[in-house]
Amino acid sequence: MAVKFDRRSFLKVVGGASLGALVGGGGKAQGYPPPPMTHQHPQAQQVLQRALAAHPQGYTFFNSAEAAFMEAVVARLIPSDALGPGGLEAGCAYFIDQQLNSMYGHGGRWYMQGPWEPGQPEQGYQLPLKPREIYRLGIAATNRYCARTYSRTFDRLSAQQKDTVLKGLEEGSVELGDLPARTFFNMMLSDTMKGYFADPAYGGNRGKVGWRLVGFPGVAAAYVGFIEQWGKPYEVDPVSIPDLLGGQAQVDEHGHPIHRPVARR
Amino acid sequence: MATELKPADVVLVGVGWTGGILAKELAQAGLKVVGLERGEPRDTNPDFQPPRIHDELRYAVYHELMQDLSRETISFRNNLQQRALPMRQQGSFLLGEGVGGSGVHWNGVTWRFLPWDFRALSATLERYGRGILPEDATVQDWGVTYEELEPYYDRFEYTCGIGGKAGNLKGQVQPGGNPFEGPRSREYPNPPMKVTRAMELFRRATAGLGFHPFVQPSANMTRPYTNPDGVQLNPCVYCGFCERFGCEVAAKSSPQVTVLPVAAKTGNFELRTHCNVVRVNLSPDKKRAVSVTYVDLRTGLEYVQPAELICLTSYVFNNVKLMLLSGIGQPYDPVKNEGVVGRNYAYQGFTNAGVFFDDKIMNSFMGAGALGMSIDDFNGDNFDHSSLGFIGGANIAVYQTGARPILSRPVPPGTPRWGPQWKQATARYYNRFFNIGAQGGVLSYRGHYLDLDPTYKDAYGLPLLRLTFDWGPNEIKASQYLAGVLRRIVEALKPSKSNVSPLPERYGIVTYQSTHNTGGAVMGADPKTSAVNRYLQSWDVPNVFVVGASAFPQNAGYNPTGTVGALAYWAADAIKNRYLKNPGPLVS
């Protein structure tokens, strides 16, 4: 699977100054040391998994009620079952909390000048609300709906009741006042999926469970020697950005991980 | 007040593919060239290095390498009766900025348009008559022919090291290539890309139907390559992080690894980043451009850069916006059907088929931006339209760009969007699926155009550009027909589940479709229906050239970058060999 570059010609393109970053072996310039390869020992692997599972988590945007609401939501959107851990175990609620304190949560790269009009569906999002405001309003409004309908907040409903409420939000049949229920639901769904499948560096996809579910290897290796092996499964232990930055995965001479085969499912 | 700077010979507004090509060509010709780029500098190292570049959330979902819409966007409506509203989030297409432009994060699919495309109107009238065209279609010839552009396609392809197999060498059809393409003077510089299982299944199915499959041309290197400028590129490793990402191994041809370093080496090219041009300043009689005004985004201060020659080399929307803001050419008015700037905006319409297999894995996370298998049997005028009621068509292809799981998690139709059934279907089909896309050309119409929004402003207090666009009757009919072709291919593939999606009734700006926007400053032979002449020179202000897909009079069923690159070389030659000898209009 190793890729052969003509090293001299390669350097001409990328420039001599970048030598350390591109060719492995002592390439500390890039910010990650040569791989110690500890992960290859099963015991060390278990330690690593426990470490990941114990990733420190503190909600910095959601208050306690909001956090309870979101933990309940992500557990229903991606349930834990025989196929593996779900959105709750993957840390999706925490991921969303962190995102709402980031550029995304503030709508930092959205055009947010008025005047405001609802417009046509073809014209896309036209609310003056940032994602963090949508969550704050949406969670409160949904909990009010649940209190009216079931006399308790969303997180304390039965699984079936939770699914009924979520379906109502998805279809727009649950009224949230000024906030369109579908907008709130679609944002929660999209953000939960981001949390389940994004690099674990962002606080979700803990233990790379999302990647393991579908068989995505994470940070890509050089696949040039494998891509024409039609139908041959590529079953490897996925590799994340923190794995590589922390020296927990072996890399080839150009900084791509060398994926470790694993028996999956 | 604005600070006036020392004059340059040439100012380029925007430094992507077209700006990069002009920078190299004109700086090599001895001109002092200043490139003004509003975005950031960025390069293979350190910006695109693994592992950080393999971050789907940052680059593919949050569009790290693209335009910050909080500063500037466009507004959109489907038709003249609606009120346009701002595109508040990136969606249908991804606006870019930064050194290298979209050339940094493109896929690298590099086509030539068909000889037919350049004379779409004449050829249609000859073969089918006016009656086949919708009444308000404004399709027209380009004013340049395929044969004239052939040497310039060749230069772009050799600059980029395109991998492919010629289908037509000097009129002789070649086995293994695209038999429908126009004649090439020589073979591609590099061999075609590797063939994946999905591509092979598509090849067998389409060949079995009597169609003509071939591996599509790619700017992802298939072997180490040294281009005619002495620039070296490395082979692609098929990592599957290409579109929306920069390439970590300099295996994807991009301006910053090809033309820009060569331009810099001449000593005649100065690249200024974080400089947003807000206006081209004209002489009092409006017949000559004297300078550009730009804002340095690091200080907020305004500068005036005088130049003898000004080339607008940004994306479609900003080329047109700057013309409108500066008074270069008459703005288009769709009601009176007068004016040219903003006229003939077009796009592309994708008809898609998804195929799901229970018994075949695809390893679809492996891939390369331009990796794919195509047929061209239903593109351009490669098939008889007599009884069909539309013109043009689509390239039909299976692409394997790399399925990254936040955005690429196909589930069969009817699957819930969440919950246990969703989870089961996702686990089952993520790696047992591929998509077949028909990349449909789009005609131009009287009511589809670009102008300045009357209400919404950008961060500089200037009006947003307003886009008025919808699918026309030609595109809807073509899509229905192409859906039928896709159904035949799907049937031959024998998947366990499938879905075929023709174009919806109305165009929407929300879902990503393609960043193949065209027109608004179209080229042509008649100043009444084109903003620039056949050399991409403004009819009204002859020391302004407007280079890019803004010059396409309508859009073909192909990725546009090959043609954009060819036009940039074509315009550069016109400037060097004609304009400089006798500055003035090149066509009277």
Cβ-Cβ contacts under 8 Å, B467 against chain A: none
Residue B129 DSSP SS3 = coil
Q: Show which of residues 22-41 on chain B sit within 8 Å of chain A, judged by CB atoms.
A: none
**B241 and A CB contact within 8 Å:** yes
Q: Give the SS3 label for residue B90.
A: coil
Do you find a cis peptide bond into B46, omega within 30 degrees of 0? yes
For chain B, what is the mean pLDDT? Answer: 98
- Cβ(A228)–Cβ(A73) under 8 Å? no
Name the 3-class secondary structure at B309: strand
Neighbours of B437 (CB within 10 A): 20
Q: How far apart are CA A168 and CA A173, in angstroms?
A: 5
Q: d(Cα B385, Cα B366) in Å, to the nearest integer? A: 38
The per-residue pLDDT for A101 is 96
Q: Best mutation site among A12, A14, A182 for testing chain B: the one with the most B CBs within 10 Å?
A: A14
Peptide bond into A115 cis (omega under 30): yes
Token readout for B120 is 């779409």
The helix or strand, by DSSP H or E, that contains position A12, with its residue range, turns out to be helix A7-14
Our measurement of the distance from residue B179's CA atom to the centroid of its chain's CA atoms, rounded to an integer in Å, reads 23
Query: The tokens of A235 are what?
Result: 């079953």
Sort residue A158 into left (φ over 0), alpha (ψ -120 to 50) or beta: beta
Q: Do B45 and A15 touch (CB under 8 A)?
A: yes
Q: What is the pLDDT of residue B320?
A: 98
A contact residues 71-100, partner B, Cβ 8 Å cutoff = 76-79, 81, 83, 86
**How big is chain A, counted in residues?**
265
What angle do helix axes A159-171 and A131-150 make, rounded to 10 degrees? 130
Q: Which residues pair with A172 in a beta bridge?
A: none
Q: Which residue in B359, B323, B357 sits closest to B340, CA to CA?
A: B323
pLDDT score for A2: 37
Q: What is the pLDDT of residue B1?
A: 81
Q: Which two tokens stand for residue A195?
A: 């949390």
- Under 8 Å between Cβ of B150 and B434: no
Summarize the confidence of residues A244-261 as an average pLDDT: 92
User: What's the rounded Cα separation, in Å, for the pair A109 and B311?
Assistant: 29
Are the beta carbons of B51 and A14 separated by less than 8 Å? no
pLDDT score, position A54? 55
Measured on CA atoms in the order A244, A245, A248, A254, is the torsion positive or negative?
positive
Chain B: nearest CA to A180, how far in angstroms? 17
Q: What is the 3-state secondary structure (H, E, C) of B42-65?
A: CCHHHHCCCCCCCCHHHHHHCCCC
- pLDDT attached to residue B215: 98
* Token pair for B175: 């086995």
Q: Which chain B residues contact residue A193 at CB under 8 A?
A: 406, 409
Q: What are the distances in angstroms from CA A265 to CA A214, A235, A262?
A: 10, 10, 10
**Cβ–Cβ contact A230 with B under 8 A:** yes
Confidence class of residue A52 from pLDDT cuts 50, 70 and 90?
low
Distance from CA of B252 to the nearest CA of A (A): 12
- Name the A residues in 156-215 with CB < 8 Å from any B CB: 163, 166, 170, 189, 192-194, 197-199, 201-202, 210-211, 213-215
Name which of B384, B482, B381 is nearest B146 in CA terms.
B381
Spell out the residues 6+ positions from residue B343 whose beta carbon is closer than 8 angstroms to its own: B138, B332, B444, B449, B519, B520, B522, B529, B531
Structure tokens at A254: 């150009």
Q: Cα–Cα distance between B256 and B262 in angstroms, integer?
A: 9
Report which of A205, A197, A204, A208 is spatially closest to residue A262, judged by C-alpha positions. A208
Cβ within 8 Å of B, A 2-21? 3, 5-6, 9-10, 12-15, 18, 21
pLDDT reported for residue A56: 64
Is the pLDDT assigned to residue A254 strictly greater than 90?
no
Query: Which pair of tokens denotes residue B266?
Result: 């001449």
* Mean pLDDT along residues A196-213: 97
* Per-domain boundaries in chain B: 3-579
Angle, alpha carbons B402-B406-B409 (nearest 5°): 70
Establish if B61 touches chain A: CB-CB under 8 angstroms: yes
The strand pairing partners of A239, in sequence order, are A218
pLDDT, position A55: 59
CB atoms within 10 A of CB B1: 6
Chain A residues inside the 8 Å CB shell of B84: 123
Specify the DSSP class assigned to residue A72: H
Backbone phi, then psi, for B404, in 5-degree steps? -100, 135
Residue A119 has pLDDT above 80, yes or no: yes
Alpha-carbon gap, residue A136 to A122, rounded angstroms: 26
Q: What is the mean pLDDT of chain A?
A: 84
Interface test with A, best of B43, B47, B54, B429 (most A CBs within 10 A): B54
Cβ <8 Å between A198 and B57: yes
**Residues B368, B400 contacting (CB under 8 angstroms):** yes
Q: Are A222 and B237 in contact (CB under 8 A)?
A: yes
Across the interface, which of A117, A121, A245 has its CB nearest the CB of B51? Answer: A245
Residues within 8 A of A (CB atoms), B 522-561 only = none
* Active-site amino acid positions of B: 516
| N- to C-terminal Cα separation, chain B | 39
Q: A131-150 and A92-100 are packed helices; what angle lies between their axes, rounded to 10 degrees?
A: 130
Q: How many CB atoms lie within 10 A of CB B528?
A: 10
Sort out which chain B residues have CB atoms less than 8 A from A78's CB and list them. Answer: 418, 422-423
* Residue A187: per-residue pLDDT: 98
Render each residue's pLDDT in chain B as its tens digit; 588 residues: 899 999 999 999 999 999 999 999 999 999 999 999 999 999 999 999 999 999 999 999 999 999 999 999 999 999 999 999 999 999 999 999 999 999 999 999 999 999 999 999 999 999 999 999 999 999 999 999 999 999 999 999 999 999 999 999 999 999 999 999 999 999 999 999 999 999 999 999 999 999 999 999 999 999 999 999 999 999 999 999 999 999 999 999 999 999 999 999 999 999 999 999 999 999 999 999 999 999 999 999 999 999 999 999 999 999 999 999 999 999 999 999 999 999 999 999 999 999 999 999 999 999 999 999 999 999 999 999 999 999 999 999 999 999 999 999 999 999 999 999 999 999 999 999 999 999 999 999 999 999 999 999 999 999 999 999 999 999 999 999 999 999 999 999 999 999 999 999 999 999 999 999 999 999 999 999 999 999 999 999 999 999 999 999 999 999 999 999 999 999 999 999 999 999 999 998
pLDDT digits (tens, 9 = 90+) for A65-94: 999 999 999 999 999 999 999 999 999 999
**Chain A residue numbers touching B194 (CB-CB < 8 A):** 224, 227-228
CB of A240 closer than 8 Å to CB of A219: yes
Residue A32 has pLDDT above 80, yes or no: no
pLDDT of residue A46: 61
B304 touches chain A (CB under 8 A): no
Q: Residue B272: what are its φ and ψ, rounded to 5°?
A: -115, 115
**Per-residue pLDDT tens digits for B214-272:** 999 999 999 999 999 999 999 999 999 999 999 999 999 999 999 999 999 999 999 99
- Separation of first and last alpha carbons in chain A: 24
On whether any CB of chain B is under 8 Å from the CB of A257, the answer is: yes
Q: Do the beta carbons of residue B538 and residue B545 sit within 8 Å?
A: yes
Distance CA B236, CA B251 (A): 5
pLDDT number for residue A262: 87
- β-pairing, B289-296 with B302-312? antiparallel
**CATH number 3.50.50.60 given to B3-579:** yes
Question: Which 3-state string (H, E, C) describes B185-231?
Answer: CCCCCECCCCCCHHHHHHHHHHHHCCCCCEECCECECCCCEECCCCC
CA atoms B84, B89, B91, B94: torsion sign: positive
Contacts of A242-247 spanning 24+ positions with Cβ under 8 A: A242/A199, A242/A200, A242/A201, A243/A39, A243/A218, A243/A219, A244/A32, A244/A219, A244/B50, A244/B51, A245/A31, A245/A32, A245/B51, A246/A32, A247/A32, A247/A33, A247/A34, A247/A35, A247/A36
Arithmetic mean of pLDDT, A186-205: 98
Cβ under 8 Å to A: B residues 85-104: 85-89, 91
What does the pLDDT average to over A13-34? 30
